[in-house]
Structure 1
Amino acid sequence: MSNIAIIPARGGSKRIPRKNCKFFLGKPIIAYSIEAALQSNLFDEVMVSTDDTEIAEIATQYGASVPFFRSPKNSDDFATTYDVIEEVLNNYAKKEMTFEYACCLYACAPLIQISDIKRAFEKLKEETRDSVFPVVPFSFPIQRALHFINEKIEFVNHEFALTRSQDLEPTYHDVGQFYFMNAKTVLDKKAVLTNNSSSIILEETMVQDIDNETDWKLAELKYQLFKGNEKI
């Protein structure tokens, strides 16, 4: 069995400039994903897919490999996660290196936990899934979402207007930390999420999307809260 951790980290970032190498509580944010992958002892190869020399230098400094740079085609705003994974696995195949399992860990996921990566991997194998990734429940039932119609506020789904929150089916969203997958199956189906994917559920305190400076500060607070509780 051979596993690879792929950490996508291109140089361009519109909302937070140089996001992937910006310092988060004392070290580049990408370092957290690299260290989690290395310390999990799950991977034969931990690599960073980037088009940026500074990110490549940081990646190697923290123990990841950068055996090749990402193509211009997969370095723009329209490249998908699958596009990057496919390129990486195909480039390794040209070097006669293939992997049974691949895990795509996002570069801006400082709250990622080794135990969650391991939990997802076990579920992937035990349930013979194509991929497994972490999700978190929506904090409020999306069935009772509101929207504006001609400046008036209305329920999107009127049939749930009077339904109690506790009587509605829980819904979840992707937390944007990682995807653990069967490499061959994902390449064959050309998709990371398939009709045979599953998830592990995380607590909201361990999840934070980072798209702006406020998100960044919230992520730092959550990280410090977690580390503080960890010492108790």
Structure 2
Amino acid sequence: MKNIAIIPARGGSKRIPRKNIRDFLGKPIIAYSIETALESGLFDEVMVSTDDFEIAEISEKYRAKVPFLRSEETADDYATTVNVLLEVLKTYQKQGKKFEYGCCIYPTAPLLKPSIIKSGYKKLMSESFSTVFPVVEFSYPILRSLKLSGNDKVEMNWPEHQESRSQDLPKAYHDAGQFYWFNVEEFLKEEELFGKNSGALILPNTSVQDIDTEEDWKLAEMKAKLSE
């Protein structure tokens, strides 16, 4: 079975400039995603989709392939991950290359380990999901979450749960933002990564950190050091 890892890494990053190649504990953060994909031993091709020559050069240094650059349409602020993956897979098809399974691995996932990638692949194959991605439990019941009005007045989003005990409320999860395994044929047909036949791989909070701010970056570094 032919598998491809696609790492989407455009050059424009507004909240953390040049985020995808910023130094993370001694090497560009994208290097962790590339190395994890290679070390998993699951992929016939590990490629980076980028519009940026510097990102391409660094990616190739860490042994990823950059066979073509991303188009302007998939490099702007409004292009989705699905748009990028479709472009990559269809470009490969034009070159006569087809893959059965793909994994979109985000370039800012330094806590991701090969074992987690393998677990996601096993779940995709053994349980016949169309897509599989990691999730993490919210640390506090979202049904008891609060909202603030313009003058900082506090209200509950779900006031009917004001007296509910936390342990009596259902658990809720969110996307870990690390990777998506998918069946290529089904993905090209449905053009979605989260659909009716998506499966979840539950990860602990210590293995996950969304990185959108400087504070997030510091937390990710702390977690990475703790996992060494």
TM-score interval, normalised by the smaller of the two chains: over 0.9
Task: For residue 73 of structure 1, give the secondary structure of its aligned residue in structure 2.
Answer: coil
Amino acid at match of 2:26: G
Aligned counterpart, 1:194: 195
Structure 2 Cα separation of the partners of residues 179 and 6 of structure 1: 10
> For the aligned residues, what is the CA RMSD?
0.8
- 1:119-134 superposed matches below 5 A: 119-134=119-134
TM-score after normalising by structure 2: 0.98
Structure 1 Cα separation of the partners of residues 148 and 103 of structure 2: 40
Aligned counterpart, 1:165: 166
> Does residue 182 in structure 1 map to residue 183 in structure 2?
yes
Structure 2 Cα separation of the partners of residues 190 and 63 of structure 1: 29
Structure 2 Cα separation of the partners of residues 17 and 39 of structure 1: 28
Structure 1 Cα separation of the partners of residues 148 and 47 of structure 2: 45
- 1:109-120 superposed matches below 5 A: 109-120=109-120
TM-score after normalising by structure 1: 0.96
Task: For residue 74 of structure 2, give the secondary structure of its aligned residue in structure 1.
Answer: helix
Q: Percent identity?
A: 57
The one-character-per-residue Cα deviations of 1:35-83 (angstroms, maximum 9, x if unpaired) are 0000000000000000000000001000000000000000001000000
Structure 1 Cα separation of the partners of residues 56 and 199 of structure 2: 32
Task: For residue 111 of structure 1, give the secondary structure of its aligned residue in structure 2.
Answer: coil
- 1:46-65 superposed matches below 5 A: 46-65=46-65
Aligned counterpart, 1:73: 73
Structure 2 Cα separation of the partners of residues 23 and 154 of structure 1: 41
Structure 1 residue 155 displacement after superposition: 1.0
Aligned counterpart, 2:225: 224
Task: For residue 48 of structure 1, give the secondary structure of its aligned residue in structure 2.
Answer: strand
Unaligned runs of 5+ in 2: none
Structure 1 residue 150 displacement after superposition: 5.8
Structure 1 Cα separation of the partners of residues 147 and 22 of structure 2: 36
Aligned counterpart, 2:140: 140
The one-character-per-residue Cα deviations of 1:100-144 (angstroms, maximum 9, x if unpaired) are 100000000000011111001010011110100000000000001
Aligned counterpart, 1:102: 102
Structure 2 Cα separation of the partners of residues 36 and 126 of structure 1: 22
Q: Number of paired residues?
A: 227
The one-character-per-residue Cα deviations of 1:147-188 (angstroms, maximum 9, x if unpaired) are 124632111111111111011100000010000000110110
